[in-house]
Structure 1
Amino acid sequence: MEQLLLDIVQNDSSTAWLYHFLFMVLVSMIPFAPIPVLAALIASNHAFFPGLAINMLGSTLGSFLLFLLSKSVLRNAALNYVNKKQQLSKFFALIEKNGFVAVLLARIVPFVPTAAINVIAGISNVRVGAFITATLLGKLPLILAYTLAGHQLAAGNWGTVLIIALYVLTLFLIGMKLKQKWSQ
């Protein structure tokens, strides 16, 4: 299985971009998937802007599909799960008040897993246009960082990769601080 995944990511055929895009869509729908690693690997196999487009559009489409799936099929099961988890129910309350801002902040400062954002937004009253816009704007900084890291890693620019890692770590720490404040 690992070899199959490596073959997909390291594919350098003329249709590699399509495989990478579809793989990113699929992985973006899986909770706790290693999207940063996948985005960096995909970026290392493409020029910067095509890699960014594959990562950004693939992860956004995956998020949108999970959003739609939770809005229709998963609604009852997802509501039961959210009600059992105190922190998720707090996020659900926040997203019910202002869906666009909640999705945007959760994407920019990753303190809620991506799949949870998609599902909670899907079962809440967040409108499709607000979800897509907040997802695109919120995903851009991190996907840009992961893509740049993968591109720089392939070029052997370790200093740039370190700076990007510090940026992502800073966002994570800010997210943890917000999570603590939000949990009180």
Structure 2
Amino acid sequence: MEQQILDLVQNEKPYAWLYQFLIMVLVSMIPFAPIPVLAAYIASHHDFMPGLMINLLGTTTGSILLFLLSKNLLRSVALKYLTKHQYLTKYVELIQTNGFLAVLFGRLIPILPSAGVNLIAGISNVHVIAFIAATIIGKLPTILAFSLAGHQIASGNWEIILIIALYLVALFLLGRKIKQKWTR
């Protein structure tokens, strides 16, 4: 089973990019999934732009699907997620007043998992177009960093990887700081 999954992800089959795209769609719908590792791995098997596009379009499509499912079918799951994480009430208030900015900040700064942003936005009054625009703009920097890291690992360019790692650590620390502020 593991070898079959590895074969799907590797760029050795004619339609590997399609399999990789579909895997990114599915993985992006799972909270705490290893998207950074998978994105870097996919990007390491392609030229930079195709790898970036597979990752960005795959994660964005998965986010849109989960948003639409939350809006139409998964309302109870989303509400359960909210009650389980009380600190999210401030985020819900932000998303109700300015959905685009809340989704954008939720993507740019890792305050909560991407799937959480999708679920919360789905039960709120965020318009689909605003959600899609904020998702694409917000996911671009981190997916760009993961894809660039994977591409640079394949090239053996460790200096760039260090810079990318510092950027991602800074984002993570900023997200933790904001989350701590919200939980007080």
In the alignment, the residues of structure 2 paired with residue 167 and residue 23 of structure 1 have an alpha-carbon distance, to the nearest angstrom, of: 26
Shift of 1:23: 0.7
Tell me the TM-score normalized by structure 1.
0.95
Asked if 1:2 corresponds to 2:2, the answer is: yes
* Deviation at residue 164 of structure 1 after TM alignment: 0.5
Q: Which moved more, 1:67-76 or 1:90-99?
A: 90-99
Q: Take 1:6 and 1:20, find their aligned partners in 2: how far apart are those partners?
A: 10
Given the alignment of the two structures, is residue 13 of structure 1 paired with residue 51 of structure 2, yes or no? no
Question: How many Å separate the matches in 1 of 2:145 and 2:81?
Answer: 32
Alignment partner, residue 125 of structure 2? 125
- Aligned partner of residue 61 in structure 1, secondary structure: helix
> Is 1:83 aligned with 2:83?
yes
TM-score by length of 2: 0.95
- Give the structure 1 partner of residue 50 of structure 2: 50
* Corresponding residue of 2:31: 31
Structure-2 separation of matches of 1:24 and 1:81: 23
- Unmatched segments (≥5 aa) in structure 1: none
- Aligned mates of 2:81, 2:158 — CA distance in 1: 42
RMSD, aligned α-carbons: 1.2
Aligned pairs for 1:83-102 within 5 A: 83-102=83-102
Aligned residues: 184
| Other-structure match for 1:146 | 146
Letter in 1 for 2:131: F
Matched, 1:162 2:142: no
Q: CA deviation at 1:5?
A: 2.3
Greater Cα shift, 141-150 or 88-97: 88-97
Bigger drift between 3-12 and 143-152 goes to 3-12
How far 1:31 sits from its partner (Å)?
1.1
SS at match of 2:162: helix
Q: In 2, distance between residues paired with 1:86 and 1:67?
A: 20
AA of the residue aligned to 1:98: N
Contact 2:11 2:46 in 1 (8 A): no
Distance 1:123 1:57 in 2: 23
Partner of 2:72: 72
> Which whole-Å CA distance do the structure 2 matches of 1:77 and 1:171 have between them?
28
Question: Residue in 2 aligned with 1:105?
Answer: 105
3-state secondary structure, aligned to 2:31: coil
Unaligned runs of 5+ in 2: none
Deviations 1:65-116 (A, max 9, x none): 0000010111123213312320223322221111110110110011110100
Name the counterpart of 1:177.
Answer: 177
